[in-house]
């Protein structure tokens, strides 16, 4: 398993990166243990031109400022006052592209994930949906701005490859406020994977 280099994140095409993240492995190594999960669903957000993005029209706040850092930084925000949402910042500094990691399939440390979430048995709800996934992996708002080339949180490749026919593409979930941009085909997922969130996937 090889950690992704910074050049992976600094590319200009946020859609290509969102697609390429499918099959990669999120690793967290905290005091309570080592956990990992394979990414099965992502959503791209194209910065200042994307009405669904926190950085639309160049908006800058204390919350989203890390989106303007260079690619390879984590952006974690809280949704509905409770769900931690883990995003990967891409492109170069001052270009606020980001990718929401919506779901992942547990690989190692499932006992730790169960303890973190208070669940008794492993089922798809453990890491299905961005809030569940972040909680299981121990990722929280305090990790926003963290360097993904470090050892606490990083994304790696184990050589897992997907063919184009195994990748689903759709509009994003829960961004109706974005008008026409809500219809953009910026969501990517592994077809048939039971951990994918949203509507049933064939």
Whether 96 maps to a domain, the answer reads yes
143: domain CATH number? 3.10.300.10
Q: Which residues lie across from 155 on neighbouring strands?
A: 26
pTM for the structure as a whole: 0.94
pLDDT given at position 198: 77
Averaged over successive runs of 10 residues, the pLDDT of the chain (202 residues) comes to 96 98 98 96 97 94 94 93 91 97 98 96 95 97 95 96 94 92 95 86 42
Q: Judge contact between 77 and 150, C-beta under 8 A.
A: no
Q: Is 128 part of any domain? A: yes
pLDDT of residue 199: 65
Is 196 domain-assigned? no
Structural domain harbouring 26: 2-190
- pLDDT score recorded for residue 202: 41
Confirm whether 195 is domain-assigned.
no
Model pLDDT, residue 142: 94
pLDDT on residue 201: 42
Instruction: Identify the pLDDT of residue 172.
Output: 95
Q: In this structure, is residue 200 part of a structural domain?
A: no
Does residue 40 form part of some domain? yes
Q: How many domains does the chain divide into?
A: 1
Domain assignment of residue 199, yes or no: no
Question: What are the DSSP calls for 32-77, one per residue?
Answer: TEEEEEEEEEEEEE-GGG-TTSTTGGG---TTTGGGGS-SSEEEEE
pLDDT at residue 184, rounded to an integer? 95
Q: Are 42 and 188 in contact (CB under 8 A)?
A: yes
């Amino acid at each position: 398993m090889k950690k992704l280099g910074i050049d992976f994140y600094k590319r200009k095409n946020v859609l290509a990166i969102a697609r390429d993240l499918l099959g990669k492995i999120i690793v967290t190594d905290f005091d309570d243990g080592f956990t990992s999960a394979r990414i099965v669903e992502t959503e791209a957000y194209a910065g200042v031109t994307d009405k669904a993005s926190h950085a639309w029209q160049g908006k800058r706040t204390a919350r989203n400022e890390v989106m303007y850092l260079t690619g390879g930084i984590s952006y974690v925000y809280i949704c509905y006052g409770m769900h931690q949402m883990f995003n990967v910042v891409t492109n170069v500094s001052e270009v606020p592209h980001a990718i929401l990691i919506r779901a992942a399939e547990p690989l190692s440390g499932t006992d730790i994930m169960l303890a973190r979430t208070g669940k008794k048995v492993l089922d798809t709800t453990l890491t299905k949906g961005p809030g569940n996934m972040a909680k299981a992996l121990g990722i929280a708002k305090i990790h926003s701005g963290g360097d993904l080339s470090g050892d606490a949180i990083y994304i790696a490749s184990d050589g897992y490859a997907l063919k184009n026919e195994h990748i689903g593409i759709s509009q994003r979930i829960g961004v109706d406020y974005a008008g026409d941009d809500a219809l953009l085909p910026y969501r990517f997922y592994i077809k048939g994977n039971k951990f994918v969130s949203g509507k049933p996937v064939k």
